[in-house]
Amino acid sequence: MKPIFSLLLLFFFMVGCKPTSAIITSKEEAVKRGIYKAPANIKIAAKNNAEPKSVAAKIEPKKATITGNRINDKNDDDLVINVDDSSYLVKQLINAASEQLGAHYKSGGTTPDGFDCSGLMYSTFKKFDITLPRSSVDMAKIGRKLNEDDIRKGDLIFFKTNGRSVINHVGMVTEINDEEIKFIHSSTQKGVIISSTKEPYYGRTFTQANRILE
């Protein structure tokens, strides 16, 4: 009887200690494990556990006039949006843009059916009541232009592609690693993807980065 009892104990021990994989290979798996949650509530959490405040909390006009949350296109190269917790908002912006990974490229597109580069940025910021100009060249005129070593997550990054002399492509910085900048954008070839300035094409065509949120 004792040998049978011992074998049963050994069996239950082996089953109970069976390893489970900690690797998450998809967003769906992360959702199931409670690690990732889509940003259903587009409110920014205020400090000290106070009531949530609207994301577009403050806008500081310096030269141009502001209509609601709209940043005008004239004389606004030094305009930035001030919020109580920009780091939290940046995470939500990256999260919202990342929801569109895999979406197709579509000229003039601003929906999950298809985005162009500025359409992805426009629609992402719009979810948080921030209305950017519609084109990449006009987006490059707002916010604070940055030195390369001052770039951080959530900044807009601009390129002059196809040998053009004006800015014609935009993305949002998602990660900084030493001299590498990773950014999410809608490319004409692959749609919404994350790319890197380490890639020769983007390293060569990188032009500037602007900070919209302070």
CA distance 62 to 194: 33
Alpha-carbon span 170 to 94, nearest angstrom: 14
φ, ψ dihedrals at 117, nearest 5°: -65, -50
Q: CA nearest 172: which of 182, 161, 159?
A: 182
Closest CA to 186 of 95, 126, 123: 123
Task: Report helix angle 117-126 to 86-98, nearest 10.
Answer: 130
Note the helical H segments in 26-116: 27-32, 86-98
Q: Say how far apart CA 86 and CA 90 lie, in whole Å.
A: 6
Q: Hey, which residues are catalytic here?
A: 117, 169, 185
Measured distance CA(66)–CA(59) in Å, rounded = 8
